Structure 1
Amino acid sequence: MKNKIIIPILASILGGAAASAAQANQAEEWPAKPVQMIVIAGSGGGSDITFRLLAREMEEGLSQPISVINQAQGGGVVGMTTYVNAEPDGYTLGQLSPFAQYKLLGQADFTSDSFTPIAMVNMDPAAMTVAKDSELTDLSTIIQILKSNPSSLTISCGGTCNASWDIPFVSLMLDEGVDVTELNLIPAKGSAAALQELASGGMDIVLSSLPETDSLRDAGMVENVAVFSDSRLDRYPNIPTVEEITGQEVTGGTWRAIGGPAGMDDTLVSKIEDKVKIAFESDGFQNSMADSGFGAVWMDAEQLSQFIRQHETQTQRVLNELSN
């Protein structure tokens, strides 16, 4: 009888040891085949640029290619779903950006437990942009119009609404006494598509990062109204902060990180994080991000894990206020 009990226990122990050895070997060999990086926004925008720059630098130190795949459908839900449901083997990674709004709005079931955080690489404040020939010449004018008629302006979120770009904007409108439930917020397939529509006259305001507006602003087609940062940005010294204009200290924007599906082995995560950090610290990535105007901000896997839980709490608080 004792032997019958001991054998299953021994088999279980050996099985666990074999699994651990296989995971360690998997981490040691990564990447043994091409890696997919899912970007949850369309081509040409800030997310696309950031992850293509990072993938280019990561490939320099790897024996395998990294394919950047854009999946902007559903405001990013499709892209996140793709890599969250992938095997946790490190070969399908993706853009981890503001996600808490999806569950709160009934669009998806993502929580911080849906992901394996790997590393933060970028953070940028939101900005308000209008067409060059627009009558919306300043933020004070926009506020007065929306106080009078909240639904009178078309406002693109530059991606998914109730997320990174429009939450600080809506918070400001709340502080200014605007009925935010009547705002005409419109999602887009990324900031690049939204800005093109703005330039062609199909939109009144676009909420996005400042670097994403560079080409159209330089071409004289759009104009930046204000930025949701605590001080003017070095690259954009002529663009005022929201606080300068309104006296309201409202800041916010987006962040971009690399994540994978839940359940990735810690050793594998550590190896990928190391490769990402090398690429992040490279002159190529740092200089390209600076040239593009994007903020290079680093968090390791542990820091990012804490950050995304704070993101959930903050987003819930804001959306609860909006629904009251």
Structure 2
Amino acid sequence: MVKFPLLFGALVAAIAPGMALADWPERPVSIIVPAGAGGGTDSTARMLAERLQARFGVPFNVVNQGQGGGVVGITSIKEAEADGYTIGVIYNFGHYKPMGQADFNVDDFTPIAQYNFDPAGFHVSADNDWGSITEALDAIKAAPADYSISCGGGCGGSWPIALATLLNAWDVDMTQVRMIAGQGAAGALQDMVAGGFDVVPSSVPEAGPLIDAGRVKGLAVFGAERLAAFPDIPTLKEETGLDNALGAWRGVVAPAGLDADIAAQLEAAMQEIVADDSWREQMTGRGFGIEWKPAADFEAFMRGEEDSVREIVGILGL
């Protein structure tokens, strides 16, 4: 008498080597965004979601989890099932652990690719006597306690960490520097114009309206090249000789342990997206910088960021 379970098992064993029992993706994929709706991280994630959906033929749904300054969202990516159905956008995160805000590291994620970098800008009010960033750095070095620097938001964020890294490289006594937390770069820039701060680090586009109005001047952009929209603002390297690209970045990750084949499919899709002219025009049209790093390079970059940011957080006593 034939045993049907045994017969079925033999049939599966016979065909399994020649076919996969399931192909990814078979259902919608969630893209966790550790930020609220409407901001830069959300906007870039939605641009990616649209193109990933077209590429793979299933919905890629953006899920905003900006609570706790992004801690909730990044933790959700870390703790999700590593099955390819939850991925996420990640950004500068090295400060969370040393500041006691969360416990995650590069090893908690499968890096897919970096797609964005927005260099920090060094901004002062238009009536400030400093004519260059070297003048500003020398003045702050000579009397660090005499100047107030806005962090914009929290002092562990991308813009203040970029500036603190620069000040530390300029041998400024970081124990004397006055960095003040606030409610965001836009408000800090307005406060600076009113005489409340001496320096505000932020992206250049954030300061753009006040620069165009002649109320703020940008002394340097912390990137490899001048920005096309602000060609009169020199790069940090031009002014100081320091070859430091510092600012905010974004990339795509999955939980640690993602299947290598799925990771490779996502990386290939990201490479196509970042090379697509329409996507690039959409990004630059909205003021976002483009930076491509494939998975291996992105992982190395994140590890370097993790180490350098934790070092500067320790120096700042945060």
The answer on whether the counterparts of 2:33 and 2:41 sit within 8 Å (CA) in structure 1 is: no
How many pairs align? 299
Alpha carbons 1:120, 1:257 under 8 Å: kept = yes
Query: Which 10-residue stretch deviates more, 50-59 or 284-293?
Result: 50-59
Measured in 1, the distance between the counterparts of 2:147 and 2:201 equals 13
For 2:34 and 2:190, the matched residues in 1 are separated by 25
Give the conservation status (yes or no) of the 8 Å contact 2:182–2:188: no
3-state SS of paired residue (2:261)? helix
Q: CA deviation at 1:257?
A: 0.3
> Partners in 2 of 1:52 and 1:132 — Cα distance?
36
State how far apart, in whole Å, the 1-side matches of 2:73 and 2:128 are.
34
* 2:69 is the counterpart of 1:78: no
Indicate if the aligned counterparts of 2:28 and 2:61 stay in contact, CA closer than 8 A: no
CA distance in 2, matches of 1:91, 1:215: 40
1:36 is aligned to 31
Shift of residue 112 of structure 1?
1.0
8 Å Cα contact 1:119-1:258 kept in structure 2? yes
Deviation at 1:164, TM superposition (A): 3.3
Amino acid at match of 1:80: I
Q: Unaligned regions of 5+ residues in structure 2, if any?
A: 1-12
Displacement of 1:298 after TM fit?
1.7
Contact 1:38 1:83 in 2 (8 A): no
Quote the offset at 1:90 in angstroms: 3.2
Q: CA RMSD in A?
A: 3.5
> Is residue 229 of structure 1 aligned with residue 223 of structure 2?
yes
One-letter amino acid of the counterpart of residue 297, structure 1: E
Aligned to 1:121: 115
Match of 2:4 in 1: none
Shift of residue 287, structure 1, vs aligned partner: 0.8
Q: 1:146 aligns with which of 131, 140, 145?
A: 140
Separation in structure 1 between the aligned mates of residue 262 and residue 243 of structure 2, nearest angstrom: 41
The CA deviation string for residues 48-88 of structure 1, in whole angstroms up to 9 with x for no partner, is 443233233334444315325251x4443232123222233
Aligned-pair identity in percent equals 36
Counterpart among 84, 91, 96 of residue 90 in structure 2: 96
Counterpart contact for 1:116–1:261, Cα < 8 Å = yes
1:86-235 matched pairs, under 5 angstroms: 86-132=80-126, 138-140=132-134, 142-143=136-137, 146-147=140-141, 149-187=143-181, 193-200=184-191, 201=194, 203-218=197-212, 220=214, 222-235=216-229
Q: 1:127 deviation in Å?
A: 1.1
Alpha-carbon distance in 2 for matches of 1:304, 1:218: 35
The amino acid of 1:127's aligned partner reads G
Whether contact under 8 Å (1:35, 1:93) holds in the other structure is yes
Residue 258 of structure 1: how far off its partner (Å): 0.7
> Is the counterpart of residue 257 in structure 1 residue 254 in structure 2?
no
Task: Name the CA distance, whole Å, in 1 between partners of 2:20 and 2:43.
Answer: 37
* Contact 1:37–1:93 (8 Å) recurs in 2: yes
Give the 3-state SS of the residue equivalent to 2:118 in structure 1: strand
Give yes or no for contact 1:55–1:66 (8 Å, CA) kept in 2: yes
- What residue ranges of structure 1 are gaps of 5+ in the alignment? 1-13
Structure 1 CA distance for aligned equivalents of residues 243 and 294 of structure 2: 29
Change (3 A) 1:48 1:148: farther
Q: What is the DSSP-based 3-state SS (H/G/I as helix, E as strand, rest coil) of the residue aligned with 1:99?
A: coil
Secondary structure of the structure 1 residue equivalent to 2:96: helix
Shift of residue 250 of structure 1?
A: 4.2
CA distance in 1, matches of 2:241, 2:275: 37
| SS state at 1:208 partner | strand
Whether the 8 Å contact between 1:118 and 1:304 is mirrored in structure 2 is yes
